[in-house]
Chain A
Amino acid sequence: MAEVSNSSPSPAPDAPGNRALNLAPVYRSAILVLTRGFRLGAALLALGLAVAAIKGESLKHSAEDFPDVLPAVFDGKASGIVSLAILCLMATPVATVLVVAVGFFRAGDRRFGAFSLVVLCVLTISISLSLFR
């Protein structure tokens, strides 16, 4: 259900608008994490492709295994840097959920902080299943 009004957000104590105003820091944190995560991932991807071009290194047809990513990066392998870029982008939404959970708790919204933690748990299970299969 919704209504449209020309007024600015309502000041009523328990109105949706007022609750939304309290969440401004949560929204800001989520935007910050998404923006920085994307920039880092994009920078790593550009670096990996540049290293591949300079060294004449072909990208492999499969990403580096989780334990091999950092050693490959430290060895200056393009495939390691590209794999790290992919993992960085994949980790960004996970980090966002964590920040949103913390933000909800800080805003005193325990219920949705708990929902966010459940989402984080599900993602952790998914990642763990991948790591320890």
Chain B
Amino acid sequence: MDVSRSIELGVVSAAAAIVGSMLGLGGGVFLVPLFTLFFGVDQKLAIGASAVAVVTNSVVGSSVHLRSRFTNLRLAMLLQVPTASGATVGALIGASAPERFVNALFGAVLTYAAVSMAFQRQAAIAGTEDTPDPWHLGAEYLDPATKQVVHYVPMRVRLGMGVSGVAGVISGMLGVGGGVIQVPAMNLLMRVPVKAAAGTSAFMVGITSVATAFVYYSRDKIDPTVVVPAMIGIFVGSQAGSRLTRRVRAQRLVLLFVLVLLYLGGSLLLKSAGVDIPWQK
């Protein structure tokens, strides 16, 4: 094992997790482009490492959200049916898909993430406790920021399930958690408060990525010399990121991160078109 390379991969993973947790993205969305573009890691190995790192991050982070009741377990299990199914199909496709196609899809997803972050908006959550709840998905949590109990009932459940299925396929193909699609979908479409959407998504991405990780494991696409630094880096980075988030106004950094996402997304799109960029492998 090349120790210096492992340390570099670990540091980059930690940095990705710090940035990801400050922006509520997770860190997986940065791992694959960074590993493939700057370290020359095989794309499939990078996706496998990312999937395992996302599982680790979710296992650690979900406990916090479950304790605070930001996670809606009923909603998570309902949406997880199409998400996990999509992820299994996506992983099977992604494991044998041409590198150019995966690069193009990843580039498009990163560009979407950048645009949605640049025009970040939250759904106005309004309603009453008497709102009809035919799916029995209503829940509540105590918001520590306002010291108020927030009641909510998810809306447009079938549409949410459809979007979750698409998120699952993309997650399976790219080894990302899918939170970049799930959280806005839950908030904007289903009218779930952002904290509940983020908490529910944090729990779901671990289950989604398991489906991906097992497929890649069985295809010898799990390289411990890449996976272990990624796991440790993501764990350390997400812990540091959650502490930093309390001190730094993440909104001020959004523009910088939008530019980074656009750069990575653009690089992958160019690579898919066969254009080489200086400094990249």
* Chain A facing B: main interface SS: helix
Partner of A5, one of B55, B133, B149: B149
Closest chain-B Cβ to A47's Cβ sits at a distance in Å of: 13
Question: How many A-B Cβ pairs are below 8 Å?
Answer: 209
Given contacts A45-B228, A86-B227, A130-B214, contact A16 B80 (CB under 8 A): no
Q: How far is the CA of A68 from the CA of B231 in the complex (A)?
A: 22
- List chain B residues, Cβ under 8 A from A133: 218-219
Q: Which of B198-231 contact A (CB under 8 A)?
A: 206-207, 210-211, 213-215, 217-220, 222-225, 227-228, 231
Closest chain-B Cβ to A129's Cβ sits at a distance in Å of: 7
Q: Which of A1-47 contact B (CB under 8 A)?
A: 1-10, 12, 15-17, 19-20, 23, 26-27, 30-31, 34-35, 37-38, 41, 45
B18 lies within 8 A of chain A by Cβ = no
CB of B77 within 8 A of CB of A112, answer yes
CB of B129 within 8 A of CB of A122, answer no
B140 lies within 8 A of chain A by Cβ = yes
A-B contact pairs, 20 of them (CB 8 A): A2-B153, A6-B149, A7-B149, A19-B138, A23-B73, A31-B63, A31-B67, A34-B59, A37-B59, A38-B59, A45-B228, A63-B223, A86-B52, A89-B59, A90-B217, A96-B206, A104-B77, A126-B84, A126-B87, A131-B218
Interface residues of B (CB under 8 A from A): 1, 52, 55-56, 58-60, 62-63, 66-67, 69, 71, 73-74, 77-78, 80-81, 84-85, 87-88, 91-92, 125-129, 131, 133, 136, 138-140, 143, 146-153, 155, 191-193, 206-207, 210-211, 213-215, 217-220, 222-225, 227-228, 231-232
